[in-house]
Amino acid sequence: QVQLVESGGGLVQAGDSLRLSCVVSESSSGTYVMGWFRQAPGEEREFVAYASPTAYTRIYADSVKGRFFISRDNAKNTMYLHMNDLKPQDTAIYYCVATQNYRGRSAGNWNYWGQGTQVTVSS
């Protein structure tokens, strides 16, 4: 069973930056498509970004495009989400996700989920 462990969340002010990390329990993480979702209180889970196994392809939600950047270090079985110019509306629990058979960005298409890390942005 693949396990994903996120870290790096916290409380920041608007305009600040944060870097989230996701460590994968398997050494074969380089074969997975990996991404990030987030969920704000009272809201559904929202797609944020994903990267292909080599990160050649990186796709972002319109709400974060130009501010967030996804990267991978497969040698360390780790994926990152670099978040810049954070806004109060970015406040959410951020989840790392992975799948070996990418079928679209919908939440139901991702086989593995982390436990989430809280990001809170104050105005």
Q: Which helix (H) or strand (E) holds 15?
A: none
Contact (CB, 8 A) for 113 and 4: yes
DSSP 3-state of 53? coil
Please tell me the predicted confidence (pLDDT) of residue 29.
75
Predicted confidence pLDDT, tens digits, the chain (123 residues): 889 999 999 999 999 999 999 999 987 778 899 999 999 999 999 999 999 999 999 999 999 999 999 999 999 999 999 999 999 999 999 999 999 999 999 999 999 999 999 999 999
